[in-house]
Amino acid sequence: MSMDFIEAMNELERDKGISKDVLFEAIEAALISSYKRNFNAAQNVRVDMNRNTGVIKVYARKLIVEEVLDSRTEISLPAARDINPHFQIDDIAEIEVTPRDFGRIAAQTAKQVVTQRIREAERGLIYSAFIDKEDDIVTGTLQRQDPRNIYIDLGKIEAVLPLTELMPNEKFKHGDRIKAYITKVENTTKGPQIMLSRTHPGLLKRLFELEVPEIFDGVVEIRSVAREAGFRSKIAVYSRNEEVDPVGSCVGPKGMRVQTIVNELRGEKIDIVRYSEQVEEYVANALSPSKVLEVQVYEDEKMARVIVPDYQLSLAIGIKGQNARLAAKLTGWKIDIKSESQAEQEYGRPKTHSGEMHQDSVSVD
């Protein structure tokens, strides 16, 4: 092995971060297999590669015995003492058996090992770079597509976006730039695999963090997200600073911040509601854009009965129950919605015209 090869190993250590010692050990292990495969499968051998010159030597390791039964693995004491007079029975003697044409095999084997280790190191670097981005947003280019997946070029790696993780109204073509949420990063035998989603609630959360400086800085907190991708989402926000309006911060000047997110999500409707420790207030806010007259809380069942004006009942429930379903998912409470008339008939609640509960929320189409 030439000095050029040793210098190349040094460069790999500097540029790729691959330990030179690890490479030497891997090459020596591979050369043992090559020797046994090509020359003598029965012998127990050791391969030594000089770290400075690249010179490779193969040594047969033989057990010193009184009577030799297998000359490939054993050696007599007198023969061993010709090598070293201090040898004793049951010691291991090493005899150089480097084949004359072993250099060619060694070069080929070393190249294969180094190539494999470089590939593994690059995969490791890619995995390390993306494992920290799990549950985060990335932007890439649509590279190709098959009946089940879209493949997104992220630069050093191709990520997988299953078609089931696209919103119902989305269609992309080759070369399109796509923002997606990383749901999983795995280190497989074929290298790192990155799974993406456009439907995950985390995508909505990360988009707000990108667009709203107050969230990024921690002044406004996202407490909960509920999403039916492509149709409607609800997000509950909160601020410990009484001077900061969390809902207004998310909406932005002239609605620009939230509108940017709506555009990214292809027109998905977003209800931004103020989080409250008071269950009654929180549930009422969560049912935005519907107005609420009263919320009755049943702690044991973790259920809230909500009474709304008659004309607001369909709005509170939403198309196919969507608004009520998202509100329940957002708050973590079961929600039973009744109109004023229904409440009067079923529970004897007197009809009131005292006005709706105060609600702090905004809906963006």
Average pLDDT over every residue of 327-332: 97
For residue range 278-316, what is the model confidence (pLDDT) as tens digits? 999 999 999 999 999 999 999 999 999 999 999 999 999
Instruction: Please report the DSSP string for 201-248 in residue order.
Output: HHHHHHHHHHH-HHHHTTSEEEEEEEEETTTEEEEEEEES-TTS-HHH
Residue 18 structure tokens: 């691959």
**Amino acid identity for residue 80 in this structure:** A
275 and 236 Cβ atoms separated by less than 8 Å? yes
Give the C-alpha separation, 213 to 215, whole Å.
Answer: 5
| List of residues 6+ apart from 63 with CB closer than 8 A | 73, 74, 75, 90, 91, 92
110 and 118 Cβ atoms separated by less than 8 Å? no
For residue range 126-181, what is the model confidence (pLDDT) as tens digits? 888 888 889 999 999 999 999 999 999 998 889 999 999 999 988 899 999 999 99
Confidence (pTM): 0.71
Please report the domains of the chain, with CATH numbers, ordered by start residue.
4-121 (3.30.1480.10), 133-198 (2.40.50.140), 202-364 (3.30.300.20)
Q: How far is CA 261 from the centre of its chain?
A: 22
